[in-house]
Structure 1
Amino acid sequence: MTTAKKTETTTETAETTETAETAGGAKAAKKPSTTTSLVWQRRRASVARFWKQYRTHRAGLYGLAALALIALLAVTAPLTVGADVQSVTEAPGTALEPPSAEFPLGTDQFGRSLLGLLIWGARISLLVGLLAAALSVAIGTVVGIIAGHYGGWFSTVVMRITDWFLVMPTLVLAIVLATVMSRSMWTVVLAIGVTSWPTTARLVRAQTIAVESRPYIERATALGGGHGHVMSRHVLPNVMPLVLAQTTLCISTAILTEATLAFLGLGDPTVVSWGGMLQDAREAGAVSSGHWWYLAPPGLAIALVALAFTLCGRAVEAVLNPKLGVGR
């Protein structure tokens, strides 16, 4: 009897231990999931707070609404106007017709609808602007964080190179790159991106120096955090708000630069863009002949998009930096 009781007690103890281990394993399995859900919950709350503050900036809402409308037209261009609008041989109208019921914005020198070309050209202009701004901000962010983190003679050398790019006219450097390379959309993106990063680099470097002076950076270093860990896990998240605001401001500059390069004949001749439309209008003599409907639409579109991105950028900057929110 005693042996049987001991056996039963041992069995119950083993079952209890197994149950505890299973429960512990379940808790360990649930812990990462709980942590992940908590992170996403905080992110959603942060986005909600950002949008709540952004809505208080009326100019930013106007800019966002304009960008949403233009982006919608650009995305749906293949359905609304079709790719045939770019064809020179299948043009439905005659050359340089003034605005009419059939062609609300008139036609170009080949008889193509300027309204259709304007909508289709938004695809290239917006795409080049976004990609060039992303490349420029990415280069500036990397250079700024590295220079601000390491400091010393390395930072001095990097900043002197940055100053050289900063004092050189960005448009001139972009023209040189676009001239020596093949004429394509990617050449324009590269030319704009590698010449317009210095401003972002200086801003990010200053913010990096401010972040690295905080106590938790010193604690992370004391606990064994390396250079890569500190820059990627501590510095980069703290400079991202500045990077986001700078990106929205850089897009308008990139679009204007792309339009200038296309107007000078350095863009991709196989695609339709707003700058390319201005170049075609100049070659067709629209200025001297008084065909204003050929010049005005692409010029106004470029100005509208640049203004919309600037309004959004200022609103984002004011939300992320409350000190700037006084002049809504």
Structure 2
Amino acid sequence: MSDEGVTRDDVVRAAETIRGRVRRTPLLDAAALAPGLALKAELFQHTGSFKARGVTNRLAALSGEERRRGVAGVSAGNHAIALAWGAAGEDLDCIVFSWESASPFKLDRARSFGATVDTEAEDPSGAFVRLEEHLAETGATLVHPFDDPLVVAGQGTVGLEILEDEPRVDVIVVPVGGGGLVSGITVAAASRGARIVAVEPEGSPALARGLEAGKPVAVVPRTIAGGLDAPFAGRLAIEICRTAGVEVVTVGDEEIEEAMRRLYADAKLACEPAGAAGVAAVLAGRVDAERMVAVVSGGNVGPEIASGILASR
């Protein structure tokens, strides 16, 4: 990594590092949803979300001593699953800090890979506090869910693949929580002429608040999109998105639910609410271009939540 943060060369190196370890996900035509729309299907990734990319790139850089001390992270679910999966594949001790209301479905998947999952915190901010205490006590290695240059570079490989499959793309639409995915894609694709649009739930505007302030700002997330409920946007994401002029739009929970239903019915994709946020912005008319790609970022959702959303109107 350079002193300037994350460069496109870093993303290209990450692509070489993770090649053969993660899936190259397809770009699917979605004209049935909106003219000129294609979907980057990251829900087909190992562990069901894009998070496997950043985790794989970060774990590859661990020293022998860091591996002996084990790894730790904080997550509502998708990063927990990816970190547990990656740690299991490299025989590393792993603990993930989450919170009481986080998705049991996602956390049970993390446990199935052998990770210890701590849900003593009441909310995301409390989970970060417990994580910091654990790191200080044990010396475990932090694998941050979004504010780490190697994680950001790994997530940016999504952007490289989009450009390979659709080099003339005008707009890439990206769901946003802590900002690791959108900042990585921005590094990979903005310099090649693609406009990047970040999509946040109305009840979790961490990136918008961070861009306004020029630094991470704490928010109290309230959204059905559990994968987009980071308590702040990362420093790296704010710097990268501000420099590149990334546009931020918001969508309501009802719009996210409708996009999830449309993806299921018209694109045959069983995604989670967070994964549908980008498509929600397109369907709501907040993003328009001749050639658009929306990242469907994940598909980890409990059957009871999915069935309730799909059955409702």
User: Could you say whether these structures have the same fold, taking a TM-score greater than 0.5 normalized by the shorter chain as the test?
Assistant: no
State the TM-score, normalizing by the size of structure 1.
Answer: 0.22
Higher helix share: 1
Greater radius of gyration (CA): 1
